[in-house]
Amino acid sequence: MREFLFKLNDSVPEAGGALDEAGQNKALTDYRRIILLAEAESPCTSVKNGTRGRAGKTPAGNLIEILRDFGPEVLRFMTGEDVPFANNMAERNLRMAKVQQKVSGCFRSKEGAEIFCLIRSCLISCNKSNANPMDAFQSVFGGNLPSFAEAEDNDVDIAA
């Protein structure tokens, strides 16, 4: 499955960001075939440990069930140009806020949390734009937008 998904991800940009209907149907057919093979090779339930409750599923069984039940969501990257293959960037962007909460226990005020999020957002934007964060912050504190920021209108109040 992993090999199939990575090959599919490589073919999506070649198709212009989204596969045509025939390509999507072929990918979905191949995906379902791999799920059927996985279900045949790996039993979905494990042996019952005790006398109570129903038998638990193995980790492989849980994964197969999720991949089977959420196939369209797993393959969404092949249909939409704006859908990334993985959500790693979103997780990385949220990680520092969670680290800050773990280190200090919490944010002391809502205002402090908002300031932290604003600064983190600016740093992430600088990183994505290959801009120097120090230059961006100097521009903001000088009353100007950073060079990579494009305002939709000229009435932007960056002091707010």
Question: With contact defined as beta carbons under 8 Å apart, do 31 and 73 qualify?
Answer: no
At residue 50 the predicted structure's pLDDT band, cuts being 50, 70 and 90, is low
Q: Which amino acid is located at 28 in the chain?
A: L
Question: With contact defined as beta carbons under 8 Å apart, do 125 and 110 qualify?
Answer: no
Q: What is the pLDDT of residues 76-115, one digit of tens each?
A: 888 877 777 877 777 777 777 778 777 877 777 888 888 8
CB within 8 A of 126, min separation 6: which ones? 132, 133, 136, 146, 148
In a domain? residue 153: no
Assess whether 16 and 62 both reside in one domain: yes
In a domain? residue 60: yes
In a domain? residue 8: yes
Assess whether 73 and 92 both reside in one domain: no
Q: Model's pTM, two decimal places?
A: 0.56
Helix 110-128 with 133-141: angle, nearest 10 deg = 130
Q: Return the DSSP state at 81.
A: T
